[in-house]
Chain A
Amino acid sequence: MKKHSKLLIASTLAASTLFISACGGGGGGGTPPSTNVSYDAKATIDNVADNIITKTYTDLDTAAAALLAAVQALQAGGATEPEMDTAQAAWIAARVPWESSEGFLFGPVDSLGIDPAIDSWPLNTADLVAFMASNPDQTAIEAASDDVRGFHAIEWLLFGDGVADNEKTAAELTPGEMGYLIALAQAFKAQTGLLASSWTTDFNGAGPYATILKTPGAGQTFASQGAVMEELIAAMSGIADEVANAKIAEPLGTAAPGDTSKVESQYSWNSLTDFHNNIQSIMNVYTGKQGYDWQTDTISSGLNGVYAFVEKHDPALALRVLTEITDAQKAIALVKGDGIDTTTDITGTAKPFREQIKDAAGRALIQTAIDAVNTIMTTLNDDVIPLIGKTDFAG
Chain B
Amino acid sequence: MNNPINLISTIILGSITLACTGCGGGSNPPDNGIKVSDYIDAVNLGGETTEFSGLTNRISFDLPATNLTGAALDMHIRGDGEFERQFTKAPSVQHPDIDGVGPVFNNNACLECHNRDGRGNYSFQALTAPQDEWTKLGANEAVFLRISVGPDETCVPDAGNCYCAPKDVPGFSSQLFHRGVLGVRPDSPFTGQADVYVKFEEEEISYADGEKVTLRKPVFEIRNPYDHPSEKPGDNTPPISRLLQQDVMTSTRMGMPVFGLGLLEAIKEEDILALADPDDSDGDGISGKPNWVCDPVKKNILSDPDPKSLGRFGWKANTPTVAVQGAGAYRGDMGVTNYFFPDESIVGTVLHDTYLATNPEDNGQNGAEVSATVVQDVMFYTNTLAVPARRNINDPAVRKGAELFHSAGCTSCHTPSFTTGSHPGIPAPDGTVAVTIPEVENQKIFPFTDMLLHDMGDGLADNRPDFSANGKEWKTRPLWGIGLTQTVNPLAGFLHDSRAGTLEEAILWHGGEAEVAKEAFRTMVKADREALVAFLKSL
By a beta-carbon cutoff of 8 Å, the part of chain A in contact with chain B is: 1-4, 6-7, 9-14, 19-20, 23-31, 106-108, 110-113, 116-117, 120, 122, 124, 127, 130-131, 134, 136, 140, 142-148, 194, 198, 203-206, 209, 212, 218-219, 221-223, 227, 230-231, 234, 261, 389
Q: Do B53 and A111 touch (CB < 8 A)?
A: no
Chain B residues with CB under 8 Å of A111's CB are 115, 121, 124, 489-492
CA gap between A130 and B392 in the complex, in Å: 56
A10-B140 CB under 8 A given contacts A23-B391, A127-B89, A131-B189 = no
1/0 per position for B113-156, CB-CB distance to A under 8 A? 00110000101100110000000101110000000000000000
Complex-state Cα separation, A153 to B210, whole angstroms: 55
CA distance A110 to B181 in the complex (A): 24
0 or 1 for each of B40-52: is its CB under 8 Å from A? (1 = yes): 0000000000011
Interface centre among A31, A127, A140 (most CB of B within 10 A): A127
- Interface assignment of B400: CB less than 8 Å from any CB of chain A: no
Which residues of chain B from 237 to 291 have a CB within 8 Å of any chain A CB? none
Query: Which residue on chain B has the smallest CB distance to residue A2?
Result: B81
Chain B interface, DSSP helix/strand/loop, else mixed? loop
Which chain A residue lies CB-closest to B95?
A: A122
CB contact under 8 A between A145 and B182, given known A20-B52, A227-B57, A230-B55: yes
A23 with B54, Cβ < 8 A, contacts A28-B4, A28-B5, A111-B490 known: yes
10 tightest CB-CB pairs across the interface, nearest first?
A: A28-B4, A13-B53, A113-B140, A14-B53, A3-B80, A19-B54, A111-B491, A3-B77, A231-B57, A261-B94
Contact present for A28 and B52 (CB under 8 Å)? no
Contact A6 B59 (CB under 8 A): yes
User: With a CB–CB cut-off of 8 A, which chain B residues contact A24?
Assistant: 391-394
Q: Which residues of B contact A108 (CB under 8 A)?
A: 490
Complex A-B: 7 CB contacts under 8 Å: A9-B59, A111-B124, A113-B139, A124-B88, A127-B181, A223-B391, A227-B57
**In the bound complex, how far is the Cα of B136 from the Cα of A134, in angstroms?**
20
A107 / chain B contacts, CB cutoff of 8 Å = 490
Cross-chain contact A110 with B116 (CB below 8 angstroms): yes
- Please state if B389 and A116 are interface contacts (CB–CB under 8 Å): no
Task: List B contacts of A223 (CB < 8 A).
Answer: 56, 391, 487
A7 in contact with B64 given A146-B86, A230-B57 (CB within 8 Å): yes
A390 to chain B, nearest CB (A): 12
Structural contact, B491 and A234, CB atoms closer than 8 A: no
Interface flags for B87-100 (1: CB within 8 Å of A; 0: not) read 01100101100000
Q: Is the CB of A144 within 8 A of B190?
A: yes
Contact status B54-A13, CB under 8 Å: yes
Closest residue of A by beta carbon distance from B484: A223
* Closest CB in chain A relative to B341 CB, distance in Å: 22
Q: Is B424's beta carbon under 8 Å from chain A? A: no
| Chain B proximity of A347: nearest CB distance (Å) | 28
Does A145 lie within 8 Å of B108, measured CB to CB? yes
**With A3-B80, A25-B395, A117-B139 as contacts: A144 and B54 at CB distance below 8 Å:** no
A residues within 8 A CB of B51?
10
A143 partner residues in chain B, CB cutoff 8 A: 136, 138-139, 189-191
Nearest CB of A to B500, in Å: 14
Q: Is B76 an interface residue (CB 8 A)?
A: yes
CA distance A223 to B388 in the complex (A): 15
With an 8 A cutoff between CB atoms, is B58 at the interface? Answer: yes
Closest to A144 in B: B190
Complex Cα–Cα for A80 and B62 (A): 50
* B407 proximity list for chain A (CB < 8 A): none
Q: Nearest A residue to B76 by beta-carbon distance?
A: A3
Inter-subunit contact B77/A7 (CB<8 Å): yes
- Interface residues in B197-237 by Cβ distance below 8 A to A read none
Residues in chain B near residue A29, CB distance under 8 A: 4
Residues of A within 8 A of B466 (CB): none
A43 to chain B, nearest CB (A): 21
Give Cα A30 to B4, complex, Å. 8
Give the chain A neighbours of B343 by CB distance below 8 A. Answer: none
Most B C-beta atoms less than 10 A away, residue of A3, A131, A389: A3
Q: Is the CB of B394 within 8 A of A120?
A: no
A248 to chain B, nearest CB (A): 16
A145 to B395, CA, bound (A): 47
- Residues B181 and A25 in contact, CB atoms below 8 Å apart: no
Residues of A within 8 A of B95 (CB): 122, 261
Chain B residues with Cβ below 8 Å from A148 are 182
* Cβ contact within 8 Å between B392 and A25: yes
Q: Which of B64, B139, B491 contacts A3 (CB 8 A)?
A: B64
Residues of A within 8 A of B115 (CB): 110-111
B318 close to chain A: CB less than 8 A: no
Instruction: List A contacts of B57 (CB < 8 A).
Output: 106, 222, 227, 230-231, 234
Residues of A within 8 A of B52 (CB): 14, 20
The reply on B66 being an interface residue by CB < 8 A is: yes
Contact of A204 among B58, B86, B181, B491 (CB under 8 A): B491
B406 lies within 8 A of chain A by Cβ: no
Report the separation of the CA atoms of residues A147 and B138 in the bound assembly, to the nearest whole angstrom: 14
B112 touches A113 (CB 8 A): yes
